[in-house]
Amino acid sequence: MFVVPNWFIGYDALTEAIFAVVTLLVSLLAFKIFKLTKSNNSKLLGFGFLFIAFSYAILAIFNAGNCFNLHESFCEITKWDPVMWYYVQLYIHLILYLLGLVTLVYMTFKTKSPKLYSLLILISALPFMFSLNFPHVYFVLSSVLLAYIFAFYLGNFFKNPNLHTALIMVAFTFLFIADLTYIFTMKSAMSYVIYHFIELVAYILILFNLVTIIKK
Amino acid sequence: MRKRNRLEIIYDILKAISNKNGTIKPTHILYKSNLSHKMMNEYLKELMDSGFIIENNTSSGKTYSITPQGFEYLNKYKMIIEFTDSFGLN
């Protein structure tokens, strides 16, 4: 699915591990806030970022294994087809990431409707099941979901302009741009690097926001 | 005047109890929190369910005391507000 430059192998796993840690931190803090406030939106934010953290963790582990040629040994021992093994991990990553984004989009609606949530999940899963070109479908779908989340945080910034709302708004702008960049340049090896770099900037901004909140 | 959100009202009630050495009569909460009687009772029930306050029935009437969890809410209030604001959770 991805065209990866040789020199970037290993660095991709490292950046994905950073994304997993940052999203996990957001999730843990959201659950802590939920414990104190019993706010349903905090719980949803926690679960949304937890799904995303797991999706990045799986990708990081897979790419780290790729770096040390662990997959070949694993497939030799288990007699699994390496291509099948690759797609299983990729699907788990993509499904968890989309589930995270769907949960965040549902959170922006600020409503308590399991029907709406299940409908969003179903709509996101359908093209996945019936499309032969699932990498493109995945990026188009995640871009649409990220566009919704970005619009929400843009509105949140205008409603309450301060450093924290600005950081989150800019971070989601970068995540949206990263996805768009990848849709149009999927076959280029350099786009894989740019995609990771833009996402890294976004997650550094989110981490910076967390640090400024916790430090006070 | 800006309308207070749920988290701010909870803070105001807990702060009012804390300022009165941790225990307060409902009439004082009503006065300090600037809520209607019905709204105040709803918030007090929510705060008791969350474990932030406890109700005491004494010979001189009903009082409310703040719990360690309630104090934790007050201590972390700034962090709660900044986190909920930045992620649009209000």
Whole-complex ipTM: 0.87
- Are B87 and A216 inside 8 Å of each other by CB? no
Residue A84: what pLDDT? 80
**pLDDT tier for residue B86 given thresholds of 50, 70 and 90:** very high
* % of residues, chain B, pLDDT over 90: 76
8 Å CB contact of A36 and B76: yes
Chain A's closest residue to B85, CA to CA, is: A165
Pairwise CB contact (< 8 Å): A36 & B72: yes
A86 or B49, greater pLDDT: B49
DSSP calls for B62-74:
EEEEE-HHHHHHH
Q: Do B14 and B73 meet the contact criterion of CB atoms below 8 Å apart?
A: yes
- pLDDT, one tens digit per residue, over A20-60 is 999 999 999 999 999 988 889 999 999 999 999 999 999 99
The predicted pLDDT at position A185 comes to 66
Q: Across the interface, do A38 and B73 touch by the CB < 8 Å criterion?
A: no
A127 in Cβ contact with A137 (< 8 Å): yes
Q: A181 to chain B, minimum CA–CA distance in Å?
A: 25
Q: Please give the structure tokens belonging to residue B14.
A: 């807990």
Q: Which of A25, A147, A23, A47 is nearest to A103 (CA)?
A: A47
Q: What is the pLDDT of residue A1?
A: 64
What average pLDDT is seen over chain B? 91
Q: Give the residue from chain B lying closest to A154, CA to CA.
A: B88
Binned at pLDDT 50, 70 and 90, residue B83 comes out as very high
Higher pLDDT, B6 or A188: B6
pLDDT of residue A85: 80
Radius of gyration of chain B (CA): 13
Residue position matching structure tokens 């990220």:
A146
CB contact under 8 A, B88 and A167: no
Name residues of chain A where pLDDT drops below 70: 1, 185-186, 216
Which ranges of A8-69 does DSSP label H, i.e. alpha helix? 11-37, 40-67
Nearest residue in A to B49, CA atom: A38
Residue A160 confidence (pLDDT): 92
The pLDDT of residue A212 is 95
Helical (H) or strand (E) element with A87: helix A82-108
Query: Between chains, do A30 and B87 touch, taking CB under 8 Å as contact?
Result: yes
A208 CB near a chain B CB, below 8 Å?
no
Domain locations along chain B: 6-86
Q: What is the pLDDT of residue B40?
A: 93
pLDDT greater than 90 at residue B48: yes
Query: What pLDDT does residue B2 have?
Result: 66
Whole-angstrom distance, CA of residue A46 vs CA of residue A23: 9
The minimal CB distance from A164 to the residues B46, B80, B86 is found for B86
By three-state DSSP, how is residue B2 classified? coil
pLDDT surpasses 70 at B1:
no
Question: For the residues B23-43, what does the mean pLDDT come to?
Answer: 91
**pLDDT for residue A204:** 98
CB-based contact, B89 to chain A, within 8 Å = yes
Indicate yes or no: CB of B86 within 8 angstroms of CB of A29: no
What CA–CA distance (Å, rounded) separates A52 from A124? Answer: 15
Which residues on chain A are in Cβ contact (under 8 Å) with B78? 216
Q: Which CATH number fits domain B6-86: 3.30.365.10, 1.10.10.10, 3.50.50.60, 3.30.70.380?
A: 1.10.10.10
What does the domain layout of chain A look like in residue ranges? 6-215
